[in-house]
Structures are given as structure tokens and as C-alpha cells.
Structure 1
Amino acid sequence: MLERAPQEDDPSERAHGWWVPHQHSEWQHVGGLGEWVQQQGDLPDPRKMLDVTSPGDQSRWIPLRGTFGWEEPTSAADDTHYMQRCRLALHVQAYVVRSEHLEAVRRWCAAQEPTRWSMPEPVNVHEAFHREFPWAFAWGHEYPSCDEWVAALDQELPHPVFPATAQFSLGVSGDCSGAATRIAVPSPWLCRRLALRHGGADGAFTDAGGATVVVDPSVTKGGSQAVLIRADQLRAFLARGDRGILWEARWLKQVIGGWNDLDAYGSMDVCGIYTMDESGGFSGSAKSEHTPPSAS
């Protein structure tokens, strides 16, 4: 019997799991919260966030999507509505790009200011049944955008791209084909290209032999949502040569809590744009931008 995945409200619980690429514990802000927001020395290289290892078989996995968050620890006696504390977030999203356009798109994205432009988000599907993804008529008819190239003109991109993932949310009508209420999935195009099918566990997609190729481990284990693909399968896909993958890895530092100073310290965005090379490593660059506090 399938069981509903645990849903934690505590950010410290969501930040654990073998697929979480970083465990943050540096919360010192001796120079004040404003100085903490602006410093970047405590942030790992975004490229290191694009590679995780399963502790079971030591297999290498690459995130196609991931949303992770950490908050400065508090005690049971603290009122978090009034107490200001540091928060760090990491968002990873991969995009499919035609190989001949990959480097041009990477250079263009890397040149943009992090807070003034962002890549398109994956479609969020509400009504189609999860276990009918992606072959059912409802997916192609009601949600064509999850399978279409995002027009360059619409996003100011030099060439079209599309997110390598989609997101399924349980609709109000109910869905008995899967247990979790939110599941991140590979895009329909990627499912067809890799000949993926649903595995025995929700959130897992396998090849014809039953081996898991893509998985959102949070569906069965709880924690931060992520879409992971086996590194060897990804490299085989890229070796075909007609499509490439572009990753956006974005850090956000800010101070939360407190009734009167929600934006008293501004925020720091660090956005990296990367591609995978033939050796399986990542190349690219990151750019940072500090947003000053709003005038009160």
C-alpha cells in the first residue's frame, strides 16, 4: 500500500536528505544582520550544488530541479514572529536547449542581472491524473505548455528553451493514482526521449529494465523536493548531440521575521549558469547582486 509522504513544516527537517547538496551551519553575524546578507564567503560554489551521491550504492545523481531552504536555528522559547533570523535558499532548475544554441543561451543568461530577469518556470499541473502522465490526452490537451519550447521572443532569450521538469499537484477532485500531494516530474519530452515509465514508488521513473533513471526522493522520504537524474543516463543523453542542458543555480540570502523590519536588510542573489562538459563536470559562471533595503 502506498503511503502519503511526510510533510514537514520545520525548515531544518526539509534541509536533510542525501539529495540535499549542502548542509548549512554557518550563521554567525557578528557584524550585524546587514553584513551577513551581503557577505558571500559562506556560500558554496553553485557548481558543487549540481552533483549528489546516493549513500546506498554510491551512484551519482544530477538535479534537474531542486528547491532547498535553511533557517538560523531558534529555541522553543523564541517567538519566530518577532525574532529576526537569517534564511538561505537554493533553487536549481535545468532547461533543454538545442545543442547549436547552448553556448549562446548560456552567455546571454550569465550576462543578466540576477534580480531583474529569471528563466521560465516549469508548468504546474493541477487537474490531470499523476499516473497518467505523460501519455494521457489531458496532459497534451490541457497542459500543452509543459511540452512546448518557450519562445525566445516571450522571454527575451536569444533562442528557445524549455524546462526539463514539470510539477504535479493533487487537484481538488482527488487523485487515487498516487499518494503524494506535490510531485516534481521530468518533462513529457524528456520522458519520451528517455523512454521513461512510472516505477513502483510515486515520484520514480524507470527504464524498460526497471532501473530507476529519474526520481523525486522527497515523495517517499519527505524533505526538500528535487528531480534527480542518474549521471550516467544524463551523459548518454547529452552524447546524442542534438540537445543540451543548461542549469540555473540560484542562492538567495535574506533576513526574515520581525513585525516592522521585514525588508530592513535587503537581500543577496547569486545566480550561476552552467553546462555539463564531456567529462561530466560543470562549467560556467555566477553573478551576484545585492538588493538594498526598501525605503521606509
Structure 2
Amino acid sequence: DRFDLMYTGRDSHKAERIGKKYQWIAYHEICACIADNFQYRNEFEDEDEEEKYLGQWQESKRDIDPSCILRGSVGGTGWDAHTSSWWGTEQYDIWNDGSPNEVWTVNESDLPDVNRCILVTNPKDKTKWLNLHGHFNWHEPVPEDKKRMSSDFKEVWYAIDAYLLHSEDATAFIEWAKKVNFWGRWMPDQAELYDLHLGEYAWSPAFHYFDRQYYGLDGWTRPGKGCPVDVRVATHRYSQSGSDFDCSTEEGVALSLPDTVLLGALEVGWSGDYADFVDENQGIVAFDPTAREEGPTAFLVREEMLRAALDRAGLTLCWTMLGEKRILTPGAVGTWYPPLEITGVCWLTKSGLESFTKTKVFEGKVNQEDSEEDDEVSDV
């Protein structure tokens, strides 16, 4: 059917008849027979270059992930405001302080505390957790008699990402990070793992096939803009389509997972459920809370266990932070207000967290080099 359609998208999202199920079984059996009896070659590679067939993940031909039974992610931050949760308690509600819009956008004194977005406490058991990948979106409430984007509305958003560093490199990284602007998403980012089953992460032949820079798993790498040290992204992203032919998922599944170096340092393994990673006593040490609860995008790790693991491995963590304070207008008819761009760095200390942020009013200039002299800087 896909050959006839000349299309391999996965957006039909309708229940298949029973006959189609048997067709899928036959299809995969035929693929296995071909793999056993013919030489594998990627159609886009050099014909003289021999390759070895390792599994269907090479051609993205696998269908259902039997290790993930989630119908979709419960939480996560989208275009709308995130849902408040115990790991997302930091609020912003200063939408109408009496100042004109052009004054509100550039006021940096009322910004949410990024430290409280990273270090959070579970009220049920008072355990402390560190958020290694977070996205927060605060929106001005919309009156019941209006639709969003029918008039101007205000928004503040933050995106934070943790990086592993060798302990001796932390000071150099922090001093460098204070001088650069992280806007443009030029730092190493989470790898998107589309063709890997959740239960295969970190150990399987399929994972080792994808564990290379070509697929976004950069390992230890030196960022641009003169970064003096190597860093390693602390989390990656498992993604599964929300429109499979068999309707095994509804809205898609997107879960954050710990990098393999962090996984080894913590001495934990996947529990077999959700995106929970447990120790030898089956206690949860790291997990993506959005797999089971509403709330902002996050990947949480027990603070005391993470600190101990990093000390054993001679590593530490630093976070880069991006954010924006802006007013969105309806189409091209509203007044445009230059947004406040926010960038910064956070790092672990013996007693908690420290951070440094700087802000700059967007000037609407494209492809212009960042100028430190033009940055309006503030310590947090």
C-alpha cells in the first residue's frame, strides 16, 4: 500500500481491518527472508561500499514499539501555557502592572526565578529534584468572551538544558557562558530518537547503531563561539508518532531520557514503565514526569543521588537558559513591541544553585553579531 501510495507518512490514524494485520505479519516475514538471502546496500551510498544488515531500524521499517504501551504523553509544554504542577510551581502573574506595553516588555525586574524552575521539591515526600530539561510557558489569561490572538496578549517563556562537564572545566565554561548569547539554538541539543524502541535505549544493537553524531548523539563535543571546554548533553528524547496505521498511540509520545554517561554514573536502569529509571532497590532516581502527570516539559533526577554520582565520576552540571518576554499581536494589524530576550547560565554549587542572566531588547536586526556592549546585564 505504501508503495502504491508513493507515501510513507503515518497520518491515517484509523483502525485497520483484521486482514491488514496479517498483511503486516507477511510483510515483516518477507523482509526477514530478504535480509537473510541478499546483500544489504543503502541506495544512497557508494555501490562499491559493502554494508552489513543489522536490523529493520536501519530502514525505519518497524511499526509498533512493544516496550512502550503509552497512548500518549500526559503532560508537556506546547504552544499554550503549561499546566502548573509540583515540578512547575514558579508562577508569573504580573500581566497588568499599570505600565504601557512597551514598558512591560523591557522590565526585567519581575521575571520568574530560573533557579526555582530547576531545583524543585516534591510536596508528598519532601524529596528534592533537579530538572535537566525544562520548557516553561506563562500566558496572560484570556477573557472568556475573547479568543486567543483576537487581541494583544502577553507571554513569558523559558527553555533550560543541562550539560555534563568535567569538574575541572566548570569555571572556564561558566565564565565563557556569561559572555555569549545562547539565542539561535547553536548549542548541542537533545538527540531525537525516532527509530529506537524505548526498551532498547542505552544497551541494544539498535541503540549502538544510532549512537553516533549523524543521528544527533554527539557525545563529548566542543560547542562553537569559542567555548573552551567539551560538554555533553545530559538528556535525549524518545519520540513515537501519534498517528500510526494501527492506532497504537493517540497524540504521540515524547519522553526525555538520561544520557548514557549520566545513566552509568547514577548506576540506574530503565524500570520497564514510563520513563522511570530505578536503582537496585527499585527506587525511582530519575524520570520524565510528563509520562503520567500534567505539567511542563521536564526530566527530573534526585538531587542528593545526582550530586553523589557526579562526584564519583568527576563530573558536574551546568544549564543554559533561553527565554523571552513578549506581546503577541493578532496578525499584521497590531502594534509590534520589541520583545525582551533572555539568556543565561546556571550551575551547581555545594549549597544549591547559582545563575547569571542577561537580557537584551530585540532590535529586529537579522544576522548581526551579538555585541556584549549592547547587552543589558543583570545577575540572578
Instruction: Give your verdict on TM over 0.5.
Output: yes
**Which amino acid is 1:103 matched to?**
T
Structure 1 match to 2:203 = 135
Match of 2:280 in 1: 208
* Number of the residue aligned with 1:94: 162
Cα distance per residue 1:137-196 (max 9 Å; x no partner): 2222124232611234x563211101100011105778979x961001111221122222
Q: Secondary structure of the residue that 1:78 maps to in structure 2?
A: coil
Q: Which moved more, 1:108-117 or 1:130-139?
A: 108-117
Stretches of structure 1 lacking an aligned partner (at least 5 in a row): none
CA distance change for structure 1 residues 7 and 273 in 2, over 3 Å: closer, same or farther?
closer
The structure with the largest alpha-carbon Rg is: 2
Task: Say which structure, 1 or 2, has more relative contact order (CA 8 Å, 6+ apart).
Answer: 1
Match of 1:149 among 220, 226, 229: 220
Query: For 1:249-260, what aligned pairs fall within 5 Å after superposition?
Result: 249-260=321-332
Cα 1:67–1:75 change in 2 (3 A) is: same
**2:348 counterpart of 1:276:** yes
2:133 alignment counterpart: 65
Q: Percent identity?
A: 22
SS of aligned partner of 1:183: strand
Aligned residues: 291
Which of 233, 236, 244 does residue 166 from structure 1 map onto? Answer: 236
Q: Does 1:242 align with 2:311?
A: no
Listed one character per residue, the Cα deviations across residues 38-85 of structure 1 (whole Å, up to 9, x for unaligned) are: 001111332232210001101000111111111101023213233110
Unaligned runs of 5+ in 2: 1-68, 367-380
What's the counterpart of residue 19 of structure 1?
87
SS of 1:94's equivalent in the other structure is strand
Query: Is residue 286 of structure 1 aligned with residue 354 of structure 2?
Result: no
1:182-193 equivalences under 5 Å are 182-193=254-265
The equivalent of 1:126 in structure 2 is 194
Distance 1:161 1:262 in 2: 42
| One-letter code aligned to 2:363 | P
- Further displaced range: 59-68 or 47-56: 47-56
Q: Which runs of 4+ in 1 moved over 4 A?
A: 7-10, 171-177
1:246 is paired with a residue whose SS is strand
Give the structure with the higher percent strand.
1
Q: Deviations over 1:243-293 (max 9, x none)?
A: 1111123331112241116781122122231221122x1124221111135
Q: How far apart, CA to CA, are the structure 1 residues paired with 2:300 and 2:338?
A: 32
Q: Give the TM-score normalised by the residue count of structure 2.
A: 0.69
Shift in Å, 1:27:
0.8
| Rounded Cα–Cα distance in structure 1 between residues aligned with 2:320 and 2:353 | 12
Cα distance in 2 for residues equivalent to 1:59 and 1:248: 24
Query: For 1:46, which of 104, 108, 114 is the aligned residue?
Result: 114
Taking structure 1 as the reference length, the TM-score comes to 0.87
- Measured in 2, the distance between the counterparts of 1:49 and 1:241 equals 26
Separation of aligned partners in 2, 1:228 and 1:196: 14
